[in-house]
Amino acid sequence: MKIALMGNPNVGKSTVFNALTGSNQQVGNWAGKTVERKSGVIQRANEQIELIDLPGTYSLTAYSQEEIVTREYILREKPDVVMALVDASNIERNLYLVLQILELAPRVVIGLNMMDLAKSAGIKILSNKLAQVLNVPVVEIVAAKGQGVEEFLSEAIRVGNLKKDPLRDEVPYPEELERRIQAMEHLLADTIWATKYPLRWLAIKRLERDSEIGQTWRSIPQTSKRSKNNDSCCESGDSIKYVLQDTDTLPGEDLLQAYEVEGWSKDKFEMTVADAKYQYISKILPEFRLHEGPIKRTWTDRLDEWILSPMWGYPIMLIILSLVFWCSFVASAPLGGAVSDGMAWAADMIVNLMQKVQVSDAIQSLVRDGIFAGVGAVLAFVPQIAIFFAFFSLMQDSGYLARAAFLGDRFMQLMGLHGKSFFSLVSGFGCNVPGIMATRTLEDPKDRLITMLINPLIPCVPRLGVMSAVVAAFFPGSLGAVIMISLLSLSMILVMFSAILLRRVVKQRERSAFVMELPLYHVPTLRNILLPTWQKTYSFLRRAWTFILVASIVVWVLSSYPQGVPMDETWAGKMGGWLAFIGQPLGFDWRIMVAIVFGFTAKETTLSTLGILYGVAADASQSIAQAMTGAMTPLGAYTFLVVYMLYIPCLASVVTTYKESHSIGWTSFGVAYNLLLSFVVGWLILHIGLFLGIQ
């Protein structure tokens, strides 16, 4: 059985989906789209169920990728049941999507979520009355507490096993519109499309001149032999395909042109249909929604008086983000140290065992100085990454992240960006890959592209970890905090500069307004925090044992052969010699240049490469940074930090940028821009420092 989970954004779909599927999830992208796809397998009794979590959307029109993906799935895949999740505290707006779902899917079950929040706001929903009015099963749910979720699934399974589709009343439209719908139904009744999609829905979409539907129709293999004035059929063996004589013409075009003369434009049809649905909702609403006394002010209202305040909102946001970064980078340090110590202990144990069985010195060096020195230095960042993503999931699930985007909109506007770009930039501090993927929330493709290109200028957790180790070695004490703040401030300035510059480079149409829903505050579930944290951390760990392991072995080989020669005469040394002319204007020796090159595979490998090239064992990242103190001055170290913070994004970020932008040209531009910007800014800092007499 195939079940689709649908609903508006922020109605608790993720909570329901995670509760039902647990760890049996697959996360990816919809084919040809940048919208995330989630699916999971559920086993109940003798029934195996595939649950598809469709993107949250407010309607099933064709104005965003989320709407197109959701609608196309219902049309093409025809799930056995649709589980429509509704926010009981905001039921009027949610029912608009439900009515659209009922036009497409014959088998639907409604889940009334957040019943506790509705009750606390003085709203009473009579679920049995709602079920009678729409002739749809309704289940009351409090997903955050796990109440009613299994009943919701059980009812969906029952409906999916019905022998016949239930009958429902159609939404009544104004008489004038109804005549036009019926006229279009008559024209489409004998076409192949009427056998595949609901006829009434097709007629309405044709009247609205829905462009996506036209493309959908053209792609459907046809089986009808019927011929009309504007269409014909041809047979090739047993396969009959529908052929349009005029590819720009669809059935009913003459009728639509006549309606245009009467003043019924595309927009008028669409607005009239939407208005009719809302009038119908307003008519039936009193039958099942009651107000128990005056509407009460909720905790959300009280908190938003402070959190969205022009005076207090920004200090609160600064405190929250500072706490997140402190916990991620400072409080996690002992955990990172424990991981480093554990890796060093494991390296010693394995090498001692290898010595007892008389394994060659080369293999011992590979294990100790290659694998453990490289991967061990990177695994020390796992606690930082896990803690950051846990806080990010906490802010997202609680409803605060949407408020942060609202507050950040003012700063985004200064850069010519959309307020939702704030999501991407904040995500970039954890990892640039999810930061780039977070641009999916932006409707305008130009806004998405600009935000993608500037995201790698945000230092991610691995980069911040390397930077903090170098800062601690060259700038001890409180000076280190000042240096880190100056680096992050420089990053923000260059993000703003780059965004303004790219606004001129990327030709952009009229900008879309910043419109987003602020969900109700609620206590996040432990599952909704731990599951995404584990998925993202596991993704990093998997990369550590692929990219970083291979890179560490390659670096060890390059730095160890030919054997018996000085380090600068090894293959890595010769590579560094070739790159020396690039690093010389910046004061970088060949080791730094080799580490920068290998940092392209993954930023974490920079630290492991430096550990191998400087001959530091896998005991602590701090030792690697201290080994660099003999190779450069504090000014040179600051220059390195600036270049490292800004230069070419990691391979995973480049691949993600290409997948999200579908453009090799813009991806290449982003790589070249970051590389050029980092070296230019680094050169300026070095020479300004030398001019001022700083060493």
| Gyration radius from the chain CA atoms | 30
426: its two tokens: 């904040």
User: How many whole angstroms separate alpha carbon 5 and alpha carbon 16?
Assistant: 9
Closest among 139, 136, 143, 83 to 116, alpha carbons compared: 143
Confidence at residue 661, expressed as pLDDT on a 0 to 100 scale: 82
Please check if 56 is assigned to a binding site: yes
425: its two tokens: 């930039």
User: How many whole angstroms separate alpha carbon 41 and alpha carbon 482?
Assistant: 50
Please check if 528 is assigned to a binding site: no
CA distances from 687 to 227, 354, 638 (A): 78, 50, 12
φ, ψ at 333 (rounded to 5°): -55, -45
- Coil, strand, or helix at residue 480? helix
Cis before residue 562, ω within 30 degrees of 0?
yes
Closest among 16, 10, 17 to 58, alpha carbons compared: 10
Please check if 19 is assigned to a binding site: yes
Please check if 405 is assigned to a binding site: no
User: How many whole angstroms separate alpha carbon 458 and alpha carbon 600?
Assistant: 16
User: How many whole angstroms separate alpha carbon 383 and alpha carbon 329?
Assistant: 9
Please check if 136 is assigned to a binding site: no
35: its two tokens: 């919208």
Please check if 195 is assigned to a binding site: no
User: How many whole angstroms separate alpha carbon 234 and alpha carbon 187?
Assistant: 20
Q: Which amino acid is at 258?
A: A
Please check if 14 is assigned to a binding site: yes
Strand 36-44 relative to strand 47-53, pairing: antiparallel
Topology annotation, domain 2-160? Rossmann fold (3.40.50)
Please check if 481 is assigned to a binding site: no
Please check if 11 is assigned to a binding site: yes
302: its two tokens: 């009280």
The number of beta carbons lying within 10 Å of the beta carbon of residue 577 is: 14
- Coil, strand, or helix at residue 522? coil
Please check if 87 is assigned to a binding site: no
Please check if 681 is assigned to a binding site: no
Pinpoint the alpha helices (H) of 263-381. Answer: 266-288, 299-307, 313-326, 333-356, 361-365, 373-379
Q: Which amino acid is at 660?
A: E
Confidence at residue 2, expressed as pLDDT on a 0 to 100 scale: 92
- On whether the CB atoms of residues 98 and 137 are closer than 8 A, the answer is no
Please check if 243 is assigned to a binding site: no
240: its two tokens: 């009959």
User: How many whole angstroms separate alpha carbon 141 and alpha carbon 147?
Assistant: 6
Closest among 130, 128, 252 to 189, alpha carbons compared: 252
Please check if 113 is assigned to a binding site: yes
Please check if 114 is assigned to a binding site: yes
- Coil, strand, or helix at residue 578? helix
Tally of residues, the chain:
695
Please check if 54 is assigned to a binding site: yes
User: How many whole angstroms separate alpha carbon 380 and alpha carbon 583?
Assistant: 28
Confidence at residue 561, expressed as pLDDT on a 0 to 100 scale: 80
- Coil, strand, or helix at residue 32? coil
Which segments of the chain belong to CATH 3.40.50.300? 2-160
State the Cα angle at 312 between 310 and 317, rounded to 5°. 100
Closest among 44, 66, 42 to 52, alpha carbons compared: 42
Please check if 342 is assigned to a binding site: no
Supply the DSSP symbol for 145: G
Please check if 143 is assigned to a binding site: yes
Please check if 78 is assigned to a binding site: no
Please check if 271 is assigned to a binding site: no
Please check if 604 is assigned to a binding site: no
Which segments of the chain belong to CATH 1.10.287? 175-264
The number of beta carbons lying within 10 Å of the beta carbon of residue 538 is: 11
Q: Which amino acid is at 44?
A: R
Please check if 369 is assigned to a binding site: no
What DSSP string describes 409-475? Answer: HHHHHHTT--TTHHHHHHHHTT-HHHHHHGGGG-SSHHHHHHHHHHGGGS--HHHHHHHHHHHHHHS
Please check if 148 is assigned to a binding site: no
User: How many whole angstroms separate alpha carbon 429 and alpha carbon 65?
Assistant: 26
Please check if 649 is assigned to a binding site: no
Please check if 53 is assigned to a binding site: yes
φ, ψ at 236 (rounded to 5°): -130, 95
Cα-Cα end-to-end distance for the chain: 70
- Coil, strand, or helix at residue 547? helix
pTM for this model (two decimals): 0.66
Chunked into runs of 10 residues, the chain (695 residues) has average pLDDT values of 90 87 66 67 85 88 77 87 92 91 92 87 88 92 88 92 83 88 86 79 86 60 41 33 41 80 84 91 91 70 86 87 75 77 84 86 78 69 77 82 79 74 75 75 78 88 76 78 85 89 71 63 79 76 67 77 76 81 81 78 68 58 59 84 86 78 88 92 91 81
Q: How far is CA 202 from the centre of its chain?
A: 32
- On whether the CB atoms of residues 612 and 370 are closer than 8 A, the answer is yes
User: How many whole angstroms separate alpha carbon 303 and alpha carbon 494?
Assistant: 34
Please check if 34 is assigned to a binding site: yes
Please check if 425 is assigned to a binding site: no
For the domain covering 175-264, report its CATH number.
Answer: 1.10.287
